[in-house]
Structure 1
Amino acid sequence: MKIVVQVRLMPTPEVASALECTLRTANESANWLSGQAYERGETSRKALQGFAYHDLKSRGLSAQPALHVLRKVADAYTTLHANIRAGNLGKPGSKRRAKAESQPIAFRLDAAQPYDDRCLSWQVDERTVSVWTTAGRIRGVRFACSEQARKLLADHRKGESDLVHRDGMWLLIATCEIPEPDVFEPDGFIGVDLGIANIATTSTGYLAAGRGLNRHRKRQLDLRRKLQAKGTKSAKRRLKHRSRKESRHAANVNHIISKKIVTEAERTSHGIALEDLGGIRQRVRLRKPQRVTLHSWAFAQLGQFLEYKARRAGVPLAYTSQECAECHHIEKKNRVDQARFICRRCGVVAHADRNASRNIAARGEAAWIAGRESRVPATP
């Protein structure tokens, strides 16, 4: 299982200047390569390396950073083409899709740059790193992190790390591969219903009200509107200072909620059954005042937090869309893709939405029958 660990670099002014120059050089090279790839119509890694590798090295990049720039550009175009095929950028002829297809991909000059072990080495016990820059190799750059993060880096760090410059801070985001515990056989499942008025409601009685978070979002929205309307330099500085504050607060709330649910499931030896809300923003139609609330709610984030915390704890997690309407077998592999459902136990093949609708219909029928049954004791 892969997780990321974020640490904050504590560079001197000279080191910070070298890091800034490195990011700028790498992203300027990526923009040049993106333009060349767009003009030639060649976006694969092999094609890019064939005609641009030596040019990238002449721009001030050594061998490994040049390869990372090649991969970054190729991966960006792969993602773009996948989004176009999936219809995420609109139908053919739409303004959004036409804009994406009519120009090369652009990278910010301070966009993240990946590093591997050849150009970045960690001294975890000393809490320092040795990093490649366009000014040469710089050793002994200090970083700060929690003790838990330090242990994860020491025991499980593997693969690439990203150098990030955000809000005046220098960050390293490292990938760690941790072993997953065996998933236990659940005694039952805790159902989790996600919503806006109540962020999460479980079948065990836990209710995470969304009133406080919605009030916080409304305050942030009103403040942004006032500062944007004012338009002064101090207002713009304030807007920049408060950027991402709402998303950080929402992420913290989602972490707390998901941890409570997973802890309860682990304590009671239950699994977690979660509703699949994929594509909800495209399916629902709301009045204009309601759209801000819908689109500002982190539908996917809470589900992702629940999934990775459950995997770390060995708790079974199943989405309702993964249940077979015929034999009620629940397995992630049952959902082949967005449209197809193939049960791994009984072999039934169905449209995924039709299978889900049958599950919902069965639950509705059970609830209706239960509501009509008399609770009065039978006459002896």
Structure 2
Amino acid sequence: MKLVVQVKLLPDAATETALRETLTLCNQAANHASRRAFDTGIKGKTSLQRLAYGDLKAMGLSAQPAIHVARKVAGAYAALKANLKAGNHGPNGSTRRTKVDSKPIRFRKDAAQPYDDRCLSWHYDARTISIWTTRGRCGRIPFACSPGQMKLLTAYRKGESDLVLRGGSWYLYATCEVPEPETFEPDAFLGVDLGIANIATTSDGIVHAGRHLNQVRHRNRRLRKRLQSKGTKAAKRLLRKISGREARFAADTDHRISKTIVTEAQRTSRGVALEDLGGIRERVRLRKPQRVTLHSWSFHQLGSFITYKAARAGVPVVYVDAAYTSQGCSACGHVSKKNRPDQATFRCMSCGFAEHADVNAARNIAARGEAGWAVSHAADDAA
């Protein structure tokens, strides 16, 4: 499996200037290649490289950076094509889709630039890197990372690394190919119900409350609204300063929750059962204040964190149909809207079973996960 390790670069003033000039030139070149690709319709990696290579070299790029710029542009157009096909920019003929599809892709002057081992060298013992810039090769640039990240880099780093400028600091995102352990045969499944009031609830009755995260989101939303209405330079500076803070906080929260869930499943030799919530934002119809909350809900991120942490631990993960998991009784199976008198309460109208609503849903998810695993592996054994 591929993991991305983020390390922080600690360049001096002269090196930082060289790195900034390098990103600016690479992205100017990417915008030029993007316009050529849009005008000619040539957007494949190899064909676009042949088309734009000479121009990119003439702009001051060395051979490998020029190749990576062309590939970056081709990858951006491939991603755009996939998003258009999936309807992520609206249906055919919509204003949004037409706007996106009617002009070349543009790259920010500080957009990330990929490097390979020909123009980026790692010196793990000294904790330094040597990197190509428009001012020549810059060596002995210190980097900082945790002991765990260093272990991953030393053992598994392979392929490209991206040079990133974020919040005034420089980073390298290095790709590591880590072998996956063999998935064990689970004794049972730990069901996980994802929600807004409670971020995640397990079938063991553990509730990871979302109150603090939702408070942070509501506070940031009010602050952004006030700053945007002012429109002053100071307000815009503050908006840039707080940009990404909420996303980082939510990611940290999701990392901690997913680690707890996967560790418990591994300890008890169980798999993890999750709801298949694909397309929920399109299916659910809510009032405007509730839509804002739904669209800021990071259920996909939490699910992906659980999936990759489980893969690293050899814990099996299954996705189950989410239909009626919140209305069905985990004791007798009776399904009814009346079983949910309020958001937090489940009380079965048939057998009288009562439980926290999210815990009951998680138990239904666990049961479906166990049944789905048994059916799929019985079919595999038969084959």
Global fold match (TM > 0.5): yes
Matched, 1:277 2:274: no
Alpha-carbon distance between aligned partners in 1 of 2:331 and 2:88, rounded to the nearest angstrom: 36
Moved over 4 A (4+): 356-366, 369-375
The aligned residue for residue 311 of structure 1 is 311
The amino acid across from 1:170 in the alignment is W
Q: What is the rounded CA distance, in whole Å, between the counterparts of 1:248 and 1:80 in structure 2?
A: 26
Q: Which residue of 2 aligns with 1:56?
A: 56
Q: CA deviation at 1:366?
A: 4.7
Equivalent positions of 1:150-169 (< 5 A) are 150-169=150-169
Residue aligning to 1:367: 333
Q: How big is the shift at 1:236?
A: 2.0
Say yes or no: does 1:191 pair with 2:194: no
Provide the rounded CA distance (Å) in 1 between the counterparts of 2:95 and 2:154: 48
1:78-111 C-alpha deviation (Å, 9 max, x unpaired): 1111111222211111001100111011000100
Residue number in structure 2 paired with 1:329: none
Mapped to 1, the partners of 2:351 and 2:326 lie a distance apart of 20
1:319-355: CA deviations, max 9, x gaps? Answer: 014xxxxxxxxxxxxxxxxxxxxxxxxxxxxxxxxxx
Q: 1:374 and 1:205 mapped to 2: Cα distance?
A: 19
Match of 2:220 in 1: 220
Q: Counterparts of 1:160 and 1:99 in 2: how far apart (Å)?
A: 32
CA distance in 2 between counterparts of 1:373 and 1:134 reads 73
Q: Percent identity among equivalent residues?
A: 59
**Where do residues 1-80 of structure 1 align in structure 2 (5 Å cutoff)?**
1-80=1-80
Q: Which residue of 2 aligns with 1:346?
A: none
Q: Distance in 1 between matches of 2:208 and 2:96?
A: 37
Distance (whole Å) between structure 1 residues aligned to residue 286 and residue 299 of structure 2: 16
1:371 is displaced (CA, Å) by: 6.9
In the alignment, what sits opposite 1:237? 237
C-alpha distance in 2 between matches for 1:372 and 1:220: 44
Aligned-residue offset at 1:46 = 2.3
Task: Determine the structure 2 residue equivalent to 1:324.
Answer: none
Write out aligned runs for 1:87-102 (5 A).
87-102=87-102
Q: TM-score, normalised by structure 2?
A: 0.85
Shift of residue 177, structure 1, vs aligned partner: 1.2
* Residue identity matched to 1:72: K
Distance 2:261 2:45 in 1: 43
Q: 1:131 to 1:248 in 2, by over 3 A?
A: same
2:263 corresponds to 1:263: yes
- Compared CA separation, residues 309 and 374, structure 1 to 2 (3 A): closer
**Stretch of structure 1 that moved more, 143-152 or 46-55:** 46-55
Task: Evaluate the alpha carbon distance shift between residue 51 and residue 119 of structure 1 in structure 2; reply closer, same or farther with a 3 A threshold.
Answer: same
Coordinate RMSD, CA, aligned: 2.1
- Cα 1:19/1:301, change in 2 over 3 Å: same
Question: 1:250 aligns to what?
Answer: 250
Alignment of 1:148 onto 2:114: no
Q: What residue is the counterpart of 2:137 in the other structure?
A: 137
Q: Deviation of residue 216 (structure 1)?
A: 1.1
CA displacement at 1:212 relative to structure 2: 1.3
Partner-residue secondary structure (3-state), 1:302: helix
Unaligned stretches of 5+ in structure 2?
336-347, 354-383
Where 1:153 maps in the other structure, the secondary structure is: helix
How far apart are the structure 2 equivalents of 1:217 and 1:124? 39
Q: Deviations over 1:264-285 (max 9, x none)?
A: 1011111100001111111111
Residues 30, 69 of structure 2: 8 Å contact kept: yes
Distance 2:218 2:130 in 1: 44
Helix, strand or coil for the counterpart of 1:278? coil
Query: More relative contact order in 1 or in 2 (CA 8 Å, sep 6+)?
Result: 2
CA distance in 2, matches of 1:10, 1:215: 35
Supply the AA of the counterpart residue of 1:119: C
Match of 1:351 in 2: none
Q: Distance in 1 between matches of 2:28 and 2:160?
A: 21
Q: Is the 8 A contact 2:332 2:351 kept in 1?
A: no
Q: TM-score with structure 1 length normalisation? A: 0.85
Alignment length, in residue pairs?
341
Q: Distance in 1 between matches of 2:352 and 2:238?
A: 62
User: Following the alignment from structure 1 to structure 2, what is the Cα–Cα distance between the partners of residues 212 and 167?
Assistant: 25
The one-letter code sitting in structure 1 at the alignment partner of 2:119 is: C
- In 2 relative to 1, CA 207–359 (structure 1 residues): closer, same or farther, beyond 3 Å? closer
Please give the alpha-carbon distance, in whole angstroms, between the structure 2 residues aligned to 1:363 and 1:87.
36
Structure 2 residue identity aligned to 1:134: T
Per the alignment, in what secondary structure is the counterpart of residue 228 of structure 2? helix
Give the deviation of 1:292 after TM superposition: 1.1
